[in-house]
Structure 1
Amino acid sequence: MDHPAVHALSGHTVRHMKKCHIAYLVCTAALAGSALGAAPPVHHRAVHVVHPGQSIQKAVDAAAAGDTVLLTRGTYRQSVNMTASGVTLRGTSRRGVILSPAPATKKKAPNSCAEAGNGICVVGTKARKVEDVTIADLTVSGFTKNGIHATATDGLTVRHVTAAKNGVWGIATEGSVRGVYRDNTARDNGDAGLFLANTIKEEQGATDTKGTIVARNRLEGNRIGVTVRRLRNLTLARNHLTANCAGVFVVGDENKPKAGLVTVRDNRIVKNNKSCPKTARLDAIQGSGIVLTGAEDSLITRNVITGNAGASPLSGGIVLFKSIVGAASERNRISDNRLRDNAPADLVDADTGKGNTFERNDCRASRPTGLC
């Protein structure tokens, strides 16, 4: 049988084209169909509804890109591992849909997320990031490690989620880009409410997040409200941070590229005076508003920072501090912030880095003097 491409040059096709002059639209469609073949089937987005007592994991495993796994009101004592792109996991109510750990048992954990002590995991690889996953409108609480832990994601959105009383981090990401973390509450978690890092277990230079956004979140009662560790190119905006040991940490080290290009703007950072003991990597902390350590080329602007007071070397409203490995903070701009009643001072520059500037800040006390 001749290939259709041969017929395209035959007299038969010429006669056919003359007929098409009479019925142009119909014949054009016929020719296109014969040349290109049938169109591929279109996936219709599905909603997989899960009720308490049913397996969220089974619904997630059955979902395709564009699908939503919808959790109805109730408590789900289980963990969920998400590895497919384009899937949305959401509850019908943030307060009414709760994920908590499964009861202790001698049986093997049902998935790697549960085995690690996490609530929801979104897991990609270095070779293939998981793309465009959304988690929304639910609570993750009481897990021994993290409420949500995402690795190697692109375009992850976490919104209207409460992460409370988890052993380490409320919401944590590593090796991820273009994330959006908006309108969440993280409270009373063992370490950071929101933790964003290049990688947790390896030493390497900072990762470009390609514009990750952390916005309009409420972070309270954690060790640190938001930790940004060894990352570049992201924005923290319009968050409310209170009752943590520290509000915001931007952390770098000696690796290249260096952490930086972080914008911290329009946040309210109030009375972060909880006391936390020293750890292997960090001094005791209390009363820290924003701390930059080993970071470069960042902008700290238009924040309201009040009532953060403590006796730690890291205490104060906005603090520049040399990193644990001695890396200096350089070329950071601290401008147009309003600071009141922070102790030992509103602005503290305890770093030896060059090119850091303090401009138009409304404050009353600084160390050294003259920064206000």
Structure 2
Amino acid sequence: MSKRHMKCLAGVTVSAATALGLAAVPSTASAPRDLVVHPGGSIQRAVDAARPGDTVLVEPGTYRESVLITTPGLTLRGTGGRTVISPAAGSAKTTAPKTTKAAKTANACATGGNGICVIGTKGHTVDDVRIRALTVSGFTKSGVWASWTDGLSVRGVTARKNGTWGIAQERSTRGDFRRNTATSNGDAGIFVANSVSEEGGATDTKGTVVLDNAVTGNRIGVTARRVRNLVVDGNLLAGNCSGVFVVGDESKPAAGAMTISGNRILENNKFCPATPRLSAIQGSGIVLTGSEATVVRDNIVRDNVGTTPLSGGILLFKSFVGALNTDNDISGNLVRGNKPADLANRDTAGKGNTFVSNTCGTSVPAGMCAG
């Protein structure tokens, strides 16, 4: 027969299915469990109680806390737009008492200004965490922040009105960011980097994917900063200052070896002022700076209009430290209605860059449009 054991934990219901067999056989300790967080309960307390393979199910409601995940194989699942994680009112405190492990770990995420954190270390990554179907809104830094992870999967998440990044990953591999909505965040809607605190060569992400997301109203839609081996495909990128921005520098290995394909990049005409590292941005579709061996193909890039040095449909531009673009392939894109040009190679010192079979009206230099 089957047994089910239930216990309450500060607003959390833990449900563990037992092994099939005789009534005398006890529950298997390693069997995956569902830990259900009810309105008024603590997500962090449930996460702290979870074991690898468990699922924390968060019922509809607004939960004013930050959540730190350090357990591999954990799933955090909400109910879409009805499950909202927002900053604690007036402080970074959690709903758990200060003396508990829940409070201490959650505060490590909250004091950084983040909503959900998945954090490992250089010698011990946190692997195969899944975040599903919830909204993270109003944090001063990131909605979802990950560092030293492998196989992190974020799907069906809405990250909105966070101060810096909507969904961000550094020092991590094999990330899967799919069917999310990132809107009105202060910097990039989706951000993938080698490190935010150190210079250095590009990280091989080992196949991180950014697929089928809707990214609107941010400073930049998708930023790939000093990384390699990445796919950005099938996304809607609209109403940002720039759609896709690939950032490289003089370090080795160089950024690049990625594919940007099948995206709709439309009217990214919001104006963003200059920063210490970058000129003002407006009307930028796809920008490559200091990139090598990147494939940009089969994208629709329309009506991105601005008057900054980075304005236009698809651009090659030297990085802010002067690193050149090399061996990039821009082909088969539909690029129309972008100003000052649909295609622009403003990195003429770069070598091996090709523009082939792109449907466009204007290019700099002239002659790069197929029709």
TM-score by length of structure 2 reads 0.88
Out of 178, 202, 219, the position equivalent to 1:223 is 219
Structure 2 distance, partners of 1:278, 1:195, is 19
Residue 54 (structure 1) aligned to one of 10, 28, 41: 41
Change (3 A) 1:353 1:106: closer
Matched, 1:364 2:361: yes
Equivalent-residue separation in structure 2 for 1:306 and 1:203 (angstroms)? 34
Partner Cα separation in structure 2 for residue 127 and residue 156 of structure 1: 17
Bigger mean CA deviation after superposition, 303-312 or 52-61? 52-61
1:66-123 per-residue CA deviation (whole Å, 9 max, x = no partner) reads 10000000100000000110000010x2110000000114968752101111000000
Q: Which residue is 1:18 aligned to? A: none
> Closer, same or farther in 2 for the Cα pair 1:106/1:188, shift >3 Å?
closer
In structure 2, C-alpha distance between the alignment counterparts of 1:105 and 1:156, rounded to whole Å = 28
1:285 maps onto 2:272 in alignment: no
1:103 aligns with 2:81: no
Aligned residue in 1 for 2:13: none
The alignment partner of 1:172 has SS state of strand
Q: Secondary structure at the match of 1:135?
A: strand
Q: In the alignment, what sits opposite 1:193?
A: 189
Residues 237-256 of structure 1 aligned to structure 2 (within 5 Å)? 237-256=233-252
Where 1:95 maps in the other structure, the secondary structure is helix
Query: How far off is 1:371 after superposition?
Result: 1.0
8 Å CA contact retained: 2:313, 2:341 = yes
Report the Cα distance in structure 2 between the residues aligned to 1:203 and 1:234, rounded to whole angstroms: 19
Task: Specify the code of the residue in structure 1 equivalent to 2:328.
Answer: N
Q: Equivalents in 2 of 1:323, 1:339: separation in Å? A: 23
Residue 53 of structure 1, CA deviation: 1.3
8 A Cα contact 2:92 2:110, kept in partner: no
Matching of residue 94 in structure 1 with residue 50 in structure 2: no
Q: Give a deviation string over 1:242-287, Cα, whole Å, max 9, x none.
A: 0000000011000000001010000000000000000011100000
Distance in 2 between the 1:250 and 1:105 partners? 35
**Within-5 A mapping of 1:310-325:** 310-325=306-321
Q: Distance in 1 between matches of 2:352 and 2:210?
A: 27
Residue from 327, 332, 342 that aligns with 1:346: 342
What aligned pairs does 1:24-173 form with structure 2 within 5 A after superposition?
A: 43-91=30-78, 93-105=79-91, 110=104, 111-173=107-169
Corresponding residue for 1:236?
Answer: 232
**In proportion to residue count, which structure has more strand?**
2
Cα offset, 1:42, TM superposition: 5.8
Unpaired runs of at least 5, structure 1: 1-40
Q: Which amino acid aligns with 2:142?
A: N
What is the letter of the counterpart of residue 369 of structure 1?
A
Shift of 1:51: 1.1
The 2-side partners of 1:136 and 1:301 are apart by 30
Letter paired with 1:154: D
Q: If each structure's helix is expressed as a fraction of its own residues, which one has the higher value?
A: 1
* Structure 2 CA distance for aligned equivalents of residues 236 and 168 of structure 1: 20
Match of 2:296 in 1: 300
Kindly indicate whether the alpha-carbon contact (under 8 Å) linking 2:92 and 2:111 is maintained by their aligned counterparts in 1: no
Rg larger in structure: 1
In structure 1, distance between residues paired with 2:81 and 2:29: 36
Distance in 2 (alpha carbons) for counterparts of 1:42 and 1:262: 43
Q: 1:105 to 1:185 in 2, by over 3 A?
A: closer
1:362/1:50 CA distance change after superposition, 3 Å: same
Q: State the 1:169 CA deviation.
A: 0.4
Give the equivalent residue in structure 2 for 1:179: 175
Letter in 2 for 1:74: G
Letter of the aligned partner of 2:216 in structure 1? E
Map of 2:327 onto structure 1: 331
Distance in 2 between residues matched to 1:68 and 1:340, nearest whole Å = 46
* RMSD, aligned CA: 1.1
Q: Distance in 2 between matches of 1:162 and 1:252?
A: 28
Structure 2 unaligned blocks of 5 or more: 1-27
**Alpha-carbon separation, structure 2, partners of 1:238 and 1:272:** 16
Q: How much identity, in percent, do the aligned residues show?
A: 60
Q: What is the one-letter code of the residue matched to 1:57?
A: Q
